[in-house]
Structure 1
Amino acid sequence: MPAGFDAGEDDQHRTVMARAAGWTDQRVLEITTLVAPQTMTSYVNKLAETGIDWPAAS
């Protein structure tokens, strides 16, 4: 596995840092809920080898 890979497990350091930055548990859950579907869509499209349907950047 890549260095730093933690299989989605949180560690206490990240939790402490988020709370010190003013993040509430509710905010963390909200962001996770918004990011998770986008991440899953990206994984599925990568596995399905879905073609890109917009012009390449020049």
Structure 2
Amino acid sequence: MMNVIDFAGRSIRVNDLEAAIKEADHFRNLYHEDPRFSELDKRLRAYWEDFYQKLIVLRAG
């Protein structure tokens, strides 16, 4: 078990690093088809990209 500090400064507990990497990878590539959500999508994708990169660094050790 390990903790990762997310984009908002919160500590997130990670129990399964490989599963967390897969999940973050999935979420960093999601977006709404409706363009009205483009600003939200930018913020969410930035959050998940940051989290994904932090997990990759942890895996690299």
Q: Bigger relative contact order, structure 1 or 2, given CA contacts below 8 A and separation 6+?
A: 2
- Write 1 or 2 for the structure with the bigger share of strand: 2
- Please indicate, yes or no, whether the TM-score normalized by the shorter chain is above 0.5: no
User: What TM-score do you get using the length of structure 2 for normalisation?
Assistant: 0.41
User: What TM-score do you get using the length of structure 1 for normalisation?
Assistant: 0.43
Q: Which has the larger radius of gyration?
A: 1
- Write 1 or 2 for the structure with the bigger share of helix: 2
